[in-house]
Amino acid sequence: MTRATDAVGAYGERVACAHLIEQGMVVLDRNWRCRAGEIDLILRDGGDLVFCEVKTRRSDRFGAPAEAVDTAKARRLRRLAAQWLAQAGLRPHTVRFDVVSVLPQPVGAARVEHLRGAF
């Protein structure tokens, strides 16, 4: 990845995190990494534990940001979530996988779309 791509991704994660906190969610972990990959955000939403993938694109010319979360990415995130849960020693009743799309706008706030239970 280039620095510009990394900067766009970091911006999107900040915007997504702020949006989810405004919605009443509590951040438990950010950018959790292990050898197999990374989970962008891990949150609590009431009684749900939420693993969240954030996708940011500079434009929707090639589709919405959430379209980048394909079957392989969803499978990887599920494996990573299992590793995080094992490491944390948690056995939550409800686990949810969300996707937040962030699309910066030429003027004003970025467009944010939160897909609850995306997969």
How do the pLDDT tens digits run along the chain, 119 residues long? Answer: 678 888 899 999 999 999 999 999 999 999 999 999 999 999 999 999 999 999 999 988 888 899 999 999 999 999 999 999 999 998 899 999 999 999 999 999 999 999 999 99
- What CATH number is given to the structural domain containing 20? 3.40.1350.10
| DSSP state letter for 98 | E
* pTM of the model as a whole: 0.92
Q: Tell the burial category of 115 from Cβ atoms under 10 Å away from its Cβ (0-12, 13-18, 19+).
A: middle
Domain count, the chain: 1
Whole domain around residue 97: which residue ranges?
3-115
